[in-house]
Structure 1
């Protein structure tokens, strides 16, 4: 079965009445995602996109039976929205908002401790299960149902890899954008564990980049894991200069830490097959599955 998102997932949108929420929730509904309502303080009791709008997440969850939320709240108030969902014990929260203040995300991470909520993001493109639903802002059209799980820090590269996997005659089980900010919810390692345990996932692709320790932590897990499923990785940023942020807050390699070469070495040592270039990920996945067969 898919990871995180299935046909029984009932979704709330926090910030649904704004432009971004309106546009993307409409696309999610067109794709088949079961959106059951929205939350916008000060607009409770109204209807938007033919769905009820509530003042508070707890009230919306009680009335609709929602078990997931997607956050389109602007950066200044996004942390408060996530913490409200956590306090309402929402099982899954996906946050698209980027450039949330770092100290705000520290507060969110503290609220998550000991709770029942899994947070994906912030600065995440979301979750996509082809033919079932999408919870986020990713492009659709090239995806197909299949057995390749994808975990990514990069939204644009995710779209490229999805298209390549489909072009190689394969398809995707679940695609997860963990988020590009330095402090976020669930990471590559936790997603990797879930996908390797998923019966519908035959192999996993990691899309990594400079900055942070996501890829090294995934390599550490794989070094001790016993799995027959191939893991393929694309790590970008080999030519990126040190001490300069590239693209978003999490893409920053400091001297001796977080560089692409070090991430590649760690993953190769753990048995991961490295795609030699961004345009060869699909072919690398096809070869890995062919060799496994």
Structure 2
């Protein structure tokens, strides 16, 4: 099984005709994602031709290992949904236009909206995250690598060839650390890997992912990657204490970050003792989470825990 994304999902790409949208649509197709349309008001009624290689394109006709496919472009998300039965949208729209694109996807009542775009103003993110909550739409991002259920579907920019299906569930603020953890634990594999993004406001939280992995029968071990800044990891620790029975392995990026300096993601800033990697590590360990001090050590802890219970 997988959480939030399966092979049954029908995906549209907002911004598919742009350079980033084209590049990653190709990669998603090659990894088996069932992409059924793109959205661009200026190019409605056209189509984009792709040569499909790699893992194959999972389309209505079944899994096509290789070949050619023409993806239609629609003027609006609502039109795309009506024509294709789309359930998921992935957003590759520039920051200035991202809010409108995300709002449009939410208003079309899709089940899942994945926002890859970075640099979106926080006020815009607050508006569409709240709108998604009000409408009951699952939103992942912004400023994230997306979500992948290996062997089933890949929505976003995560490399699909670095791991396979298995019994670990991964939720991470960091894109690059998501990829590293997937690679280092490729001998075991993953049910789903969720990159929630590192901005101060995101649609899906560590807690949302923990709840989903706890309920998923195929997820045996959960890996949680956080980073300095904010209190998301401390809140996750509180949730784990009361609601999670499966083993959780953690890592917090930023042990060497200097106080008061923004590091990488917009949300990663430390002030005094609040939001430090050490404080987050202590909060997680207090509720039984094993926390590595490096990504590789974290992977080893996850592997040992998985092998111990299987």
Normalising by structure 1, we get a TM-score of: 0.96
1:193 aligns with 2:211: yes
Gap regions ≥5 residues in structure 2? 50-69
Is contact 1:90-1:116 (8 Å) kept?
no
SS of match in other structure, 1:113: helix
The reply to whether residue 131 of structure 1 matches residue 151 of structure 2 is yes
Please say if 1:244 is aligned against 2:261: yes
Q: Is the 8 A contact 1:7 1:133 kept in 2?
A: yes
Of residues 73, 90, 95, the one that matches 1:70 is 90
Question: 1:96 touches 1:121 (CA, 8 Å); kept in 2?
Answer: yes
Alignment of 1:177-216 (within 5 A): 177-216=195-234
The list of structure 1 runs, each at least 4 consecutive aligned residues, that deviate by more than 3 angstroms after superposition, is 290-293
Alignment of 1:1-293 (within 5 A): 1-49=1-49, 50-166=70-186, 169-227=187-245, 229-293=246-310
Tell me, in whole angstroms, the C-alpha distance in 2 between the residues paired with 1:37 and 1:64: 7
Question: How far did residue 114 of structure 1 move?
Answer: 2.2
CA distance in 2, matches of 1:86, 1:226: 30
Paired residues of 1:165 and 1:281 also in contact (CA < 8 A)? no
Hey, what's the Cα distance between the residues in 2 that align with 1:290 and 1:57? 44
Gaps of 5+ in 1: none
Shift of 1:119: 0.4
Deviations 1:105-127 (A, max 9, x none): 12112312321311000011011
Aligned residues: 290
Tell me how far 1:281 sits from its aligned partner. Answer: 2.1
CA distance in 2, matches of 1:15, 1:250: 26
Once the 2 structures are TM-superposed, how far is the Cα of residue 226 of structure 1 from its aligned partner? 4.9
Q: Does the 8 A contact of 2:211 with 2:244 survive in 1?
A: no
CA apart distance, 1:291: 3.4
Q: Find the aligned partners of 1:290 and 1:69 in 2 and give their Cα distance.
A: 36
Segment of structure 1 superposing worse, 184-193 or 249-258: 249-258
Secondary structure of the 1:286 match is: helix
Pair 1:62–1:102, CA change in 2 (3 A):
same
Provide the residue aligned with 2:57 in structure 1: none
